[in-house]
Amino acid sequence: MPQPPEKLQTTPPKLSELNTEQIRILVAESCGWTDVRIFFGTMQGEPRDFLEGSFNGMRGELPSYTTDLNAMLQAEEAGIYHDGWDSDLASDYLANLILQADTGKAHSATAPQRAKAYLLTRNLATA
């Protein structure tokens, strides 16, 4: 089973060395999910209360940030656009998104490409 990256790293891991589940975990933790682990065969954790319909103390399955555009939109709103769409962080994200997208166009980026751009922007991984 995939394991979360070590918590005490001083430098972020290289994006190319992360598997899909590790990317999912890093995005989830940056959105406030805690106690992330495999539970009854699914990746679960305790959500932060900004997620609709959730509250602390209740375990839930992590959003599938690497396959679900709706989940990535939640992550983008919480971790990128919280200071507005015209913030420096949002500009950095757009640049990373364009680099990750196969077409070079941000609007056509897939969920996995958005998750990778998110990690690069939030300095949770390096290129």
* pLDDT tens, residue by residue, 15-37: 999 999 999 999 999 998 888 88
Query: 71 lies in a domain?
Result: yes
Does 10 fall in a domain? Answer: no
Identify the residue with better confidence: 42 or 124: 124
What is the 3-state secondary structure of 67-86? CCHHHHHHHHHHHCHHHCCC
State how many domains the chain has: 1
Residue 36 lies in a domain: yes
Range of the domain at 45: 15-121
Do the Cβ atoms of 24 and 62 come closer than 8 Å? Answer: yes
Residue 28 lies in a domain: yes
Comparing CA positions, the residue from 60, 53, 62 lying closest to residue 29 is 62
pLDDT tens string 75-93: 999 899 988 888 899 999 9
Model confidence at 10: pLDDT above 60: yes
Under 8 Å between Cβ of 60 and 54: yes
Q: Decide if 41 is inside a domain.
A: yes
- Whether 39 and 23 have beta carbons less than 8 Å apart is answered as no
pLDDT one-digit tens code per residue, 42-71: 888 887 654 555 555 577 889 999 999 999
- Of 127, 103, 105, the C-alpha closest to 116 is 127
On whether the pTM is more than 0.75, the answer is yes
d(CA 106, CA 120): 15
